[in-house]
Structure formats: C-alpha cells, structure tokens
Chain A
Amino acid sequence: MGEVVNTSNQILLFAMFALSLNLLMGYAGQASLAHAAFGAVGGYTAAVLGVNHGWGFVPAVLVAIVVTGLVGALVSVPALRLPEQYLILLTIAVAFIVSSLTQSISQLGGQYGLQSPGAITIFGHDFITPEQILPLFIAIGVVVFVLCWRMGESAFGRVLRSLREDDAATRALGKNTVRFKVVVFGATSAIAGLAGALFVYYYQQVSPGQWTVQVAISMIAMVVLGGIGNLIGSVIGAIVIVSSTPILEKWVDLGASKATFARLMIYGVALILLMMFRPEGMLKERHSRHELRGIRTEPAGRIAIAAASDGDGDEATVDAATPAPAYSGRSVSIAPAEVAQVAATAGVRQPSPGVTRGSPDVTAVRPSGAIALEVRGMRKHFGGIKAVNGVDLDLPEHEVTALIGPNGAGKSTLFGLFTGFIAKDAGTVELHGRSVDRLSPDAVARRGMVRSFQDVRLFTRLTVLENVLVGVPHQAGESLLNLFVRPLAVRRSDRETRDEALRHLETVGMLDKAGVMAADLAHGEQKLVAIARVLATGADLLLLDEPTSGIDPAWVDRIADTIRRLPELGKTVCIVEHNLAFLERLQVPCYFLEAGAVRRKGSLRDLMADDELRHAYFGV
C-alpha cells in the first residue's frame, strides 16, 4: 500500500513536469532538454532557502517558482529571434551548466546535495507521511492541469500552435511571436520550478543525480508517448513511465539498478519507434471543433452572420446544418463572351488584338484619391543580385493594384521589404502617411498592412477555422493575465473572435470546411483560406502574393470574385500575379516590373500592347 502511495506521489510530480513540458514542446514546438534542469533550479532554490535560511515551505516554494520562471524566460531570450535549433542548443547548454555547477559548488553540497529542507507545512498544518502528502499533491496537480489546460486550449495556446507550425506566417498576421515564446518559456519553467521544489520537499533532499539529462529525456518520453499537444496524454505518459519502475523492480524482479537501466532502455527504444512510426503519440492533438458546435446546435440549423461590411447591419444567412457550400449562390457564372475573352487573354502569346477586345476601360475602377501606401527609392541587393533597384510605387486607397513582370523581377521581394520581413538597403515605406520602416513584421501587420505568401503557408496541423482565428487581432484570450483574471471578458472575446472568423470564411465561401484540417484541403481551397486569414487581421492594406498560382481555373473565378469585392469592404489590395487572364478579369491598374525596377504603369491592355514589355515578359 505504501508503495502505491509513493508511486502515486511520484506520478503526480512527474505529471506536473510533463504537462508543462508538453505546453512548451507540444503546443509551442520548442523542444527543451532543460526541463529537468529547471526542476533543479526550483529544487535547489527551495532547499537553500529551507536549509540555510530556515524559510518555511510556502514562501520557499513561491520564491522557487518565481526564480525558475525568470531563469527560464531569460534563457529563452537570446535564442528567440534565431532559428529554433539555437533554442535547443541553449537548453542543452543549460542542462550541462546546471549539472556541472550543482556538482561543483560546495555551498550547494556538491555531489551529495542538501538535506532536510524542513517539513511541508501549510498554515500550521503538517504533511509528513506520503499518505498525508498525497491529497496535497493531488490538489496541486489538479491546479497545474487546469493552468496548463487554460493556457493550451485558449487563444494563447492557438497562437503557440500556429508559431509551432510556421513562425514567420504567424508574425505576418500581427502576432508578436517573441513575446509568446518568452511567456510560454517563463510559465512552463515556473511550473517545472514548482514541481522541482515539491520534489525536494517530498524526498527531503536535493542532489545533482535527481536532475540528470536522463531525467529530462524521461520527461520528454512522457510527453511524446502520451501525445504531443495532448495534456491528458501527458498525464497518462507520466503514469505509464513512473509506474514502470516498480513493475520492473518487483514483478520482473530485476533489482533496483538493473531495473533502472532496463526502464531507460525501454524509453529509448520507445522514443525511436514512436518517432519512426507514430510521431503524434498515443493520443492525438485536440482541435477546437467545439467552436463549431454552436453552429450545429442552432435550433433551425441556420445562423445569421453579420455581413462583413461597415456595420450596416446587413445579414447574410448561412445554412450551416447542411454541408452545401455557402458560396454556391455567389459563384460566378461565366458568360460565353467572358470565356472567349479569358481564352483570348490567356493566349496572349499570339500578339492578337483580342487582348483588348471587349475589356472595359481601366479608369472605370472608382478613383479614390488618397494614397494608402507610398514607396520611394526601394532598393535591395543580395550579393551581386539587384533584386530591387530603386522602386517608387503608390497604392491608391480602396483599389486593387497589380504587380506584374517576369520571374525574378523582384515582385515578391517587394512584399517582403514592405512588411519588414526582408531588411532593405535603402528606401522608405509610408502607410497612410506614417513610416513603417523601422517596424518588425508583426508590428507592420498590426499597423494595418498584411501579406500573404506565394507558397500559402497555412498552419497545416490546425483546422481551417483555427487558421482564421489566429488572424483575428486583439483577442483577450491571448494574454495570460486575462485568461486567469478576466475569464468573462475572455469568453466574450472568444465568441466575437469566432463570429468574426466564420464571417471571413463565409466571405471566401469556405464556411463548410471550417472543421477540416488545413493539410487536407485542396490547393485552391488553401489559397482561399489564406485570404480569409489575411482578412481576419482587419488590416486595410492586403498584399496578396500570387493568389491564383498553381490552382484550378474553377477556383480562379472564386478568388477573382472575392478580390473584386475587397475594395467595397474598405480594403486596399496589391497583388502579385502571373495569371493574365485573371488580371484581365479584375480590370486593375498594373505596375510592370523588370530586373528590380518599375518599367511602366498602366492598364494590362496598354502594357501588353507594348511590344517591348511583351518581349520582356514572354520572350516573344
């Protein structure tokens, strides 16, 4: 019986480590070998306070939590703007340093560590025997689980998972991923510090041998075995792995040291096999399909979603109960004449007058006067390659403007330069008259200029709805403080965020796919979701990088239709595009770029009537 209680206590301690490590590794995708080392930081802090300074249990543990959280956040800072392998490198370094310092510093007791930090006493109540401690640990374990659950299954956790999938794409949506990483590193380290301190009080001693890299690997094994990104899985992982020790010792009768070796060998084999055959672990990641539940349970099976316009109260009714695509009523029916025109423009290779026939004048697009984005003297050289060499550009407000030109003309590079993803050599960018030159990509996005990517870059292991949810700005649930202090505000914000995201999915006609994993979408559908994601940011200037490349003609119509409506929603749009038939349909002014410079500006018809430009583009 005593053995069962003891094992249960150990399980609870390691479950705390595994839960917090899962938040860091499973949700945020930051692998760490330092989790045991952070346990040591908490454990040694509590022990030093208890043994050398006579502190009581509660204050010692609280200080241990704070110290470990700060150490964790500090360690993460230098590596955060670097590729993630530097963070792994730093965690390995931390594991090594903590192990070598605890072994060699005599004030920490060297190899033997420190003994007897004092009894676990809370408000005069003593917890001495394992049986007395068990209820306490259960209570603390439940609190830790709830904390981790709240962090993981919230808007905060959603951003963590999106940055795990694609850090740059998350920043492009206006999320300060550095802040999220520091916060999650600090929070999970703090929990490891708590568990470490409890561990030390439970065993009444702390020593370097408790916190070796092998222990860190065991914690990783719990997370991986249970399921990456699944908190219940981490608890199961802790149960399986901790209870394997007494099972091997008692039932298989290996003896203590051989049992330890056998157990660790089993973890090793399990880790290898899991990564080879089932990297997601036993339990799969949860996906917030519950956000869709509200729709399905509406009495009539229909919900009303406010149309995405300037608050004129217009309502579009969407049938959500049937999987019939909401966009079906909107899909463009292509008139035969239009088909002919598309065919003619697509076949622009033959220098035929058909290009111009029947297309209305570009000036038919409403002029609006104001300039949304003003670019002057933009220059970027990569080594000897002049990717962008002195570009001046104006994007008129509430209009669609296109950048065209041959491959390598510098079009996509321009988007990177505007949004701060690429550092420019020279030039200025003003968004609504304010410079954005010195802002980070996420700050530019929050200022109202958001880009999409040529290679789409959806968060593949998130659902369509989750992808769009990440785009929505100002979510109360993205702040840990709000999550724990203002739950009602978070709830309201979550509901508003959901409605907002659904509305944008409806705009692009993807509402019926809301619960589908992004990885399972057709390429054209992914492009539409990417547009919805960009719309969700609420930015008024959208830079769309090849929205139709590599997709089916049927989808091209849908996308053209969507983009054409954007100015009515108050958006200014700039697209990079190679599909001339598509541009012809949009009827937008174009900048023709070649070799990093603007050659000419005008309607597509005018540009393509210019033999020289046509030659530059098509080589004919």
Chain B
Amino acid sequence: MTDFLQQFVIGIVFGSRIGLIGVSFALIIGVTQRFHVAYTATYVGGVYAGYWAYNDIGLPMGLSVVIGLLFAGVFGALIEATVYRRIAARAARRGTDQLIPIFIAALGVTILVQNLISWIWNTQPLAFDVIPLSPITWGDIYLTNLDVLTVIASWVAVIALAAFLRYTRLGSSVGAVRVNADMARVVGVNPARIFVLVFFVGSVMSAVLGMLEANGTGADPSMGLTPVFYGFVVAFVAGLDRSPIRMAVVGLVIGLVQSLSALWISIQYGPAVVFTILLVYLILLPTNFRRIVAIRRRGAVTVA
C-alpha cells in the first residue's frame, strides 16, 4: 500500500509536469501548425540564461529566474518571426509542404542551441538551486518541496492559460486563429502577431518546466529531448484542439500510468509503457479520428 501511495504521489508530480508540457506544446502546434521540435531549445535555453544571469553576472536569484523566462519567451518568438514564418511563406508561394522544412529547421535550432551551450558550459550537469530542496514526509510517503511547487506551478499555469483563452479578448483571437487564420484576418486579427504571442507564451512555459527540472536534477544541455517526447504524446493523445485543462488531465493520467507501472515492471521501462500507450492509441485512433485536429498540411496558414 505504501508503495502504491508513493508511486501515486510521484505520478501526480510527474503527470502535472508532462501535462503542462503537453499544454504548452499543443498551444504552439495547435495554433500555428508549426512542427516545433525546437521546444527543446527554449526549454534548455531559459534554464541556462537564468543560470548565466545568476552565476556569471551575479544578479539576484529572483531576477535571474525572470530573465531566464523572458529569454526563453523572446527566443521562441524570434524563432517564429525569423525562421518559421519565412519557410512557411516560401512553401506557400511554391505550393509545397511546410511541415518537413519547418521540422528540419527546428532540428537545426535544437542542435545549434544544445551545442552552443555545451561549448560555453560543457556537458557536465550544473547545479541550479533556485530553491533549496527539503524533504516532506507524510507517513511513509516521501516527497520534496520542489515536487509540491511543481504541482502548484503546473496547475496554476494551466488554469491561467485556460482563463486567458476563454475570458480575454486576446485569448479569443488566439482561438479564432486556431480555427481559421484566414477568417481571423478578415475580422481584423493579425495571425502573424498571434503566432508570435503564442510562441512567447508557450516558450515561457517551457522554461518554467526546464527550471523546475533543473532545480531537481541539475541543468544539462541535452535535457530537452525527454520533455518533447512526453509533450508530443500528451498533446496528440489529448487532441491538439482540446482545452488546456483537459489536456493537463490527460497528462496527469499518463504520468500516473507510467509511475504506477513501476509497481509491476522495472522502473526503467516506464517510458516504454508510455510508448505502448501511444502505439495502442494510434492504432485505435482512426475510429474517432474526426475529433482530432491534425496539422493542416498545405499552406492553409499563410502568415508572411
């Protein structure tokens, strides 16, 4: 029973984290149709920017965190405004597919950032102690203050995003662009700006997640691949057009399944369990395919 409860708690923490990954990931992909694998780059980039401000410049910790988050947001927005937009416009002009060129450019950004960081800070994990870890025990169940913070931060971000999309004017503009960018343009929304906004918000969230992870296990240039894997799984299993709260719940469930699977099979196979969920889901998917919003293939979104 203790094992179960312990794994359950771990699952809640992990599930909240990958829920927010899925939410921020789906926000970007769902609205902009960009296959943004370079989520890894803002995830890691924000952490190292914060580390740089704190360690190399000597700014206070709180300010450094804010700088890291803003850096990630601006960086994500810049990727959209300088790279993706241009590739999409070119593809639209020629009537070819934008999916693969953007995917490849995103891989380019990923590998560039990872190795730039490795060049500057080397590949050893760096301690990133924003908050000192302290254990919380509750009966036989063990967790840390960081775990609690992770859960709170994830759900606050998810609910804040859901409220923003639902209750603000800007949020409904985002929704309009998601459904039909050309129609949104007609009613006076500028999709290009919305895209940049979405990249900014999603990238800030990615950096929040990066910092939470780095605070626990240290910063490492290659830490971005794992979150992208989970982000994809959560976003695609939930459906790209789903509300943030529903998406976060799907993330929570997947996190719990992976965590609780450790009760029966070795913990190292946890990712394989999630992979199996994904496979089964993809095999069953065609029956309820219509509910899933796929990335539109051709220049449906021509933001230039």
Partner-B contacts on A (CB < 8 A): 25, 29, 31, 33, 78-79, 81-86, 88-90, 92-93, 95-97, 99-101, 104-105, 212-214, 217, 220-221, 224, 257-258, 260-262, 264-265, 267-272, 274-276, 279, 460-461, 519
Which of A25, A90, A105, A268 is the most central at the interface, judged by chain B CB atoms within 10 Å of its CB?
Answer: A268
B8 contacts chain A at the CB level, 8 A cutoff: no
In contact, B104 and A97 (Cβ under 8 angstroms): no
Q: Mark B83-119, 1 if CB is under 8 A from A, else 0.
A: 1001100110011110111111101111111111011
B109 touches A31 (CB 8 A): no
B94, A271: Cβ atoms closer than 8 Å: no
A31 touches B275 (CB 8 A): no
Q: How distant is the Cα of A265 from the Cα of B269 in the complex, in angstroms? A: 32
Distance between A159 CB and nearest chain B CB, rounded to angstroms: 17
- Which of B149-157, B182-190, B242-250, B283-291 makes up part of the contact surface? B283-291
Beta-carbon nearest neighbor of A460 in chain B:
B95
Q: How far is the CB of B70 from chain A (nearest CB, A)?
A: 23
Sampled A-B contacts (8; CB under 8 Å): A83-B295, A84-B297, A89-B236, A96-B229, A97-B272, A100-B268, A268-B109, A275-B102
Does B66 make an interface contact (CB < 8 A)?
Answer: no
Q: How far is the CB of A160 from chain B (nearest CB, A)?
A: 14
Contact of A272 among B112, B226, B278 (CB under 8 A): B112
Within B25-83, the residues touching A (CB, 8 Å) are 35, 37, 83
In the complex, the answer to whether A31 meets B108 with C-beta atoms within 8 Å is no
Contacts of B226 on A, CB cut-off 8 Å? Answer: 96
Expressed in whole angstroms, the minimum distance between the Cβ of A524 and any Cβ of chain B is: 17
- Chain A residues lying within 8 Å of B116, measured Cβ to Cβ, are 261, 265
In the complex, what residue of chain B is closest to A254 when comparing beta carbons? B119
Sorting the interface of chain B by its residue count into under 10, 10 to 19, 20 to 34 or 35 or more gives 35 or more
Does B301 have its Cβ within 8 Å of any Cβ on chain A?
no
Q: Given A265-B112, A272-B112, verify A88-B35 contact (CB < 8 Å).
A: yes
In chain B between 208 and 249, which residues have their CB closer than 8 angstroms to a CB of chain A? 222, 225-226, 228-229, 232-233, 236
Judge whether B294 is part of the interface by a CB distance below 8 angstroms: yes
Shortest Cβ distance from A519 into B: residue: B95
Q: Are B236 and A265 in contact (CB under 8 A)?
A: no
Closest approach, in angstroms, between the C-beta of B41 and any C-beta of chain A?
10
Is B282 part of the binding interface, using a Cβ–Cβ cutoff of 8 Å? Answer: yes
> Would you give the shortest CB distance from A446 to chain B, in whole angstroms?
22
Residues of chain A with a CB closer than 8 A to B103's CB: 31, 88
Tell me the B residues contacting A by CB distance below 8 Å: 35, 37, 83, 86-87, 90-91, 94-97, 99-105, 107-116, 118-119, 122, 222, 225-226, 228-229, 232-233, 236, 268-269, 271-272, 275, 278-279, 282-283, 285-286, 289, 294-295, 297
Report yes or no: A104 in contact with B275, Cβ–Cβ below 8 A: no
In-complex Cβ contact of A105 among B104, B107, B115, B268 (8 A): B268
Chain B positions within 8 Å of A78 at CB level: 279, 282-283
Contacts of B232 in A (CB 8 A): 89, 92-93
Question: Which residues on A sit within 8 Å (CB–CB) of B294?
Answer: 82-83, 85
- Select A265's contact among B95, B107, B119, B295, beta carbons within 8 Å: B119
- The minimal Cβ–Cβ distance linking A451 to chain B, given in whole angstroms, is 19
Known contacts A92-B37, A217-B107: A261-B87 contact under CB 8 Å: no
For the complex, give the distance between the alpha carbons of A224 and B110 in Å: 16
> Are B97 and A261 in contact, with the CB atoms below 8 A?
no
Given contacts A25-B100, A92-B228, 14 further A-B contacts (CB under 8 A): A86-B236, A90-B278, A92-B229, A97-B272, A97-B275, A100-B272, A101-B271, A104-B268, A213-B225, A261-B115, A268-B109, A269-B108, A272-B109, A275-B102
Residue pair B101, A217 in contact (C-beta under 8 Å) = no
In the complex, the answer to whether A261 meets B118 with C-beta atoms within 8 Å is yes
When the two chains form the complex, which single residue of B90, B115, B279 contacts A279, counting CB atoms closer than 8 Å?
B90
Assess the A101–B119 pair: CB atoms within 8 A: no
Report A580 CB to chain B, min CB distance, Å.
30
A264 / chain B contacts, CB cutoff of 8 Å: 111-112, 114-115
Residue of B nearest to A106 (CB): B268
Which B residue sits closest to A278, measured CB to CB? B90
B95 in contact with A83 (CB, 8 Å): no
The reply to whether B271 and A100 form a contact with Cβ atoms under 8 Å apart is yes
